[in-house]
């Protein structure tokens, strides 16, 4: 049931006399959420059925992508679907107590895959949902983890998890672009199981991208399934397997398709691959290519300004990173420091809030930053990844203002963009 909460003033809908109520159908097609609305709203002639005190029919004309002026209660026009799995590696189960309620909510909504790039397991989809995805040719990000049905059931603790592997085949063969995520757990779905998974995916057809990411393990795992972090040798083994299958996909499809995430390279202490490794960065938001893209953006801007370097004079800055990305960011800043008048340091902050093996920048908290930077001099630059979207709120509910006041030094939020960071520290 899709509720119209308001009508935009002077819009097509207002001129047509449409009132608030329940939107039932467009051109005879039932409307259940924003996907239906967006798909059937593209026609230039629309017949809308709306339930108010009774059912009313409205006919309107519009341009193909013109907004008709209906406002809905939520952006999905429906409630977010929650996860039905109990995965042995679930990061949300490893959150410490006392965080915002929203952090503990496990979503598994395919519609958020199209909007925000979320990865979904397919275990809560109906046959009608799958048919709609295929009909609308919607792209999809799938948390697959393994092509072994029995192992998928074991890892996700959902008796239907193995059956839904077949849906991946159906969706890919229908021509939809699909990205696959494999959260690897050492000794469980790596090694021979990873080779089996990649072999089976190769048989299905072409994918947008297939990425392996290591399981994230915090210090808050009491009572949870025992898992081990990847070490240098096991991370190297994953990279070798992914590279082997990338060659197969490239020979057939003209692109690598298969990638190991940045964390595997950092753990294995291997150089981050060049840009060509990542094709068109299909899984950038999944942590695949962050470091390379940031470095290339930074170095491109540096080279573009090298002849004008005597003009610039940067302030004193401190860039905060997690322990995992400290080394590559430091190398870039040190290089800029030798060529430009740069007075910037890079500080790695240990994640005591999560503990365990969590070392990514985006999961740093205000409390850990305050503890690590006591007495620091200079303006602190904090990447936007650390904050709740469109806010100044850290995961531990501290704010940017809290950190500023505790440190007694200026603090600024900066986009995760290598070029912007370079311009900032050299004073452009």
Q: Per-residue confidence of the chain (428 residues) as pLDDT tens digits?
A: 789 999 999 999 999 999 999 999 999 999 888 888 888 888 899 999 999 988 989 999 988 888 899 999 887 767 778 899 999 999 999 999 888 888 888 887 677 776 667 899 999 999 999 999 999 999 999 999 999 999 999 999 999 999 999 999 999 999 999 999 999 999 999 999 999 999 999 999 999 999 999 999 999 999 999 999 999 999 999 999 999 999 999 999 999 999 999 999 999 999 999 999 999 999 998 889 999 999 999 999 999 999 888 777 778 999 999 999 999 999 999 999 989 888 899 999 999 999 988 999 999 999 999 999 999 989 999 999 999 988 999 999 999 999 999 999 999 999 999 999 999 999 88
CATH number, position 275: 3.80.30.10
Residue 420: which H helix or E strand, with range? helix 418-426
Cα separation, 189 vs 182, in Å, equals: 9
Q: Are residues 101 and 219 in the same domain?
A: yes
Q: Are residues 40 and 116 in the same domain?
A: no
CATH number, position 54: 2.30.42.10
**Is position 126 within any domain?**
yes
**Is position 80 within any domain?**
no
Q: Are residues 163 and 63 in the same domain?
A: no
Cα separation, 228 vs 388, in Å, equals: 29
Q: Are residues 44 and 156 in the same domain?
A: no
Provide the whole-model pTM: 0.89
Dihedral, 89, 357, 82, 134 alpha carbons, nearest 10: -80
Number of domains forming the structure of the chain: 3
As separate numbers, helices (DSSP H) first and strands (DSSP E) second, the chain gives 14, 14
CA angle, residues 411, 414, 420, in degrees to nearest 5:
130
Cα separation, 398 vs 407, in Å, equals: 13
Q: Are residues 181 and 61 in the same domain?
A: no
Cα separation, 73 vs 83, in Å, equals: 23
Question: Other C-beta atoms within 10 Å of 61: how many?
Answer: 12
Q: Are residues 171 and 317 in the same domain?
A: no
| Final residue before a domain boundary, out of 234, 269, 287 | 287
Q: Are residues 210 and 137 in the same domain?
A: yes
The rounded radius of gyration (Å) of the Cα atoms in the chain is: 25
Q: Are residues 280 and 151 in the same domain?
A: yes
**Is position 82 within any domain?**
no
CATH number, position 328: 3.40.50
Q: Are residues 163 and 249 in the same domain?
A: yes
**Is position 85 within any domain?**
no
Cα separation, 395 vs 368, in Å, equals: 11
Question: Which residue reads 């063969």 in tokens?
Answer: 173
**Is position 83 within any domain?**
no
Q: Are residues 334 and 380 in the same domain?
A: yes
| Final residue before a domain boundary, out of 287, 313, 342 | 287
DSSP state of 273: P
Cα separation, 409 vs 317, in Å, equals: 11
Q: Are residues 130 and 269 in the same domain?
A: yes
Domain that holds residue 102: 92-287
Cα separation, 99 vs 220, in Å, equals: 13
Q: Are residues 300 and 353 in the same domain?
A: yes
β-strands 258-260, 178-184: how paired? unpaired
């Amino acid at each position: 049931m899709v509720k119209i909460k308001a009508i935009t003033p002077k819009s097509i809908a207002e001129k047509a006399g449409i009132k608030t109520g329940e939107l039932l159908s467009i051109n005879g097609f039932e409307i259940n959420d924003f996907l239906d609305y967006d798909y059937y709203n593209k026609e230039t002639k629309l017949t809308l059925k709306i339930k108010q005190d009774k059912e009313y029919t409205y006919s309107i004309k519009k341009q193909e992508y013109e907004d008709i002026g209906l406002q809905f209660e939520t952006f999905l026009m429906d409630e977010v679907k929650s996860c039905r799995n109990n995965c042995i590696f679930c990061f949300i189960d490893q959150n410490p107590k006392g965080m915002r309620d929203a952090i503990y909510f496990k979503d598994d909504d395919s519609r958020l895959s199209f909007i925000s790039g979320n990865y979904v397991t397919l275990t809560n989809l109906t046959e009608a949902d799958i048919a709609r995805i295929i009909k609308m040719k919607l792209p999809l990000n799938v948390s697959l983890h393994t092509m072994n049905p029995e192992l998928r059931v074991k890892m996700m603790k959902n008796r239907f998890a193995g059956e839904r592997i077949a849906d991946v085949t159906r969706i890919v063969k229908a021509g939809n672009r699909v990205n696959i995520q494999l959260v690897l757990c050492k000794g469980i779905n790596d090694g021979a199981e990873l080779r089996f998974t990649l072999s089976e995916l190769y048989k299905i057809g072409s994918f947008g991208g297939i990425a392996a990411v290591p399981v994230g393990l915090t210090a808050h795992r009491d009572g949870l399934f025992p898992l081990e972090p990847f070490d240098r040798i096991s991370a190297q083994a994953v990279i070798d397997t992914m590279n082997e299958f990338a060659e197969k996909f490239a020979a057939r499809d003209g692109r690598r398709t298969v990638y190991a995430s940045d964390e595997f390279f950092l753990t294995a202490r291997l150089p981050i691959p060049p840009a060509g490794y990542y094709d068109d960065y299909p899984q950038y938001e999944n942590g695949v290519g962050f470091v390379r893209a940031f470095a290339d953006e930074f170095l491109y801007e540096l080279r573009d300004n090298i002849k004008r370097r005597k003009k610039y004079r940067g302030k004193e800055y401190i860039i905060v990173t997690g322990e995992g990305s400290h080394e590559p960011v430091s190398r870039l800043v040190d290089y800029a420091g030798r060529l430009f008048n740069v007075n910037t340091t890079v500080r790695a902050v240990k994640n005591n809030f999560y503990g365990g093996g969590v070392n990514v920048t985006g999961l740093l908290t205000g409390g850990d930053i305050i503890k690590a930077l006591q007495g620091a001099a200079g303006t602190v630059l904090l990447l936007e990844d650390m904050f709740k979207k469109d806010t100044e709120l850290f995961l531990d509910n501290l704010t940017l203002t809290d950190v500023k006041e505790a440190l007694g030094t200026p603090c600024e939020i900066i986009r995760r963009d290598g070029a912007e960071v370079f311009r900032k520290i050299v004073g452009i």
